[in-house]
Amino acid sequence: MNAIKDSVHDWIPLDPVAADLLDTEAFQRLRHIKQLSTVRLVYPSASHTRFEHSLGVYHLAGQALESLGVEGARARAVRAAALLHDVGHGPYGHQTEEVIRRHTGTDHDEIGDLLYETELAGVLERHDIDPDRVAALVRGEGDLGQVVSGELDVDRMDYLVRDAHHTGVPYGTIDHGRLVRELRSRDGRLVLAEGNVQTAESLLLARALMDGVVYRHHVSRIAGAMLERACERLLDAGTPVAEFRRMADHDLLVALREEVPDLGARIERRDLYKRAVWTGLDRVPDAVTELSREDERRAARDIADEADVDRERVVVDVPSLPKLKESRTRVVVNGVVRRLEGASELVGALRATRRAQWRLGVYAPAAEQDAVAEAARDVLGLPR
């Protein structure tokens, strides 16, 4: 059996299915998609890729299946799904996912068509694995789909530890070994065994801390908003979305530099816009928090017009309201399966913290920062 040395999990043994999937062009592309996209503009060592993350998810899925006593064909399908769960990502991963969704109506975890458009389906079929079953597992369907995509999925377990390791930020450190060992199946749902409320809380706390310090860092937010705007302009200029979604990170940078040079060059050089507005939920009208992407673009144009600046030099960034998906984790308490939010007082405190961390952003070049700030307050109805 082949094995690959990993920076987080040490040696990862590969079964024959994984070894063959790794050699496909579709999977090798993940070597060129950075896991943390624009976060690496904040943390320079965060250069790890979707390729190594996918290997880590595959490794933890195998450990979880052992704990659950799942073997044979079912286990091989789940391990294949874990390995392929990110193969549908576009360039810069989640940073371009919303753009792709608006143009195609599909998310990165809807890989059914992709399997058949590439050599992946043929590899799976040669190993007697149904590609449609793998696609369903990636979407999180069924009891075993929760291993790949759910409140207790191994995807989250790997990326928290891996992202913490590569950024040098300690907050994502979790006991993933205990998490996978304590997994149980109850009535078709994954749960953590008795005595693991604190284990579940550690996952919740790690995600909340990493969100504030790493994933939603303001520099990454600004770069991500600029990147999304640039990608929309690239597609509007005629780049086919089918071609766009199969680009690697460097392909996208080259295309942006050529087709959208004002934003493309800034992103490449880290010459980013500044925060004209950066304000919390308590100072933002409810209607603003519910703006669609098209509404954001319209608001940005209105702000630019009022500030008398170029419309392409203002970006409005309204993040989704904070959620704690991990709070729905199920744990066994005194023999009864309960949601973590009902068994832990920590959940309420973290919900309040996440809401306090939420920020509306309006970004513009430094020279227009003050004028844009003034106009944004008028257009968005923000208090002075």
CB 337 within 8 A of CB 331: yes
Share of the chain above pLDDT 90, in %: 85
Residues 72 and 188 in one domain: yes
Instruction: Provide the domain count of the chain.
Output: 2
Residues 233 and 199 in one domain: no
Mean per-residue pLDDT for 268-279? Answer: 97
Share of the chain above pLDDT 70, in %: 100
- Residue 325 confidence (pLDDT): 77
Mean per-residue pLDDT for 363-369? Answer: 97
Q: Which domain holds residue 144?
A: 3-210
Give me the chain's average pLDDT, please. Answer: 94
Residues 282 and 303 in one domain: yes
pLDDT tens-digit map of 53-94: 999 999 999 999 999 999 999 999 999 999 999 999 999 999
Residues 205 and 231 in one domain: no
Q: Among the listed ranges 2-11, 199-208, 310-319, which one has the minimum average pLDDT value?
A: 199-208
DSSP string, 274-342: EEEEEE-GGGS-HHHHT--HHHHHHHHHHHHHHHTS-GGG-EEE-PPPP--GGGG-EEEETTEEEEHHH
Residues 252 and 166 in one domain: no
Q: Let me know if 17 is exposed, middle or buried by CB neighbors in 10 A (0-12, 13-18, 19+).
A: buried
Task: Among 156, 177, 210, give the residue marking a domain's end.
Answer: 210
Mean per-residue pLDDT for 150-175? Answer: 93
pLDDT tens-digit map of 223-273: 999 999 999 999 999 999 999 999 999 999 999 999 999 999 999 999 999
Report d(CA 207, CA 214) in Å as an integer: 10
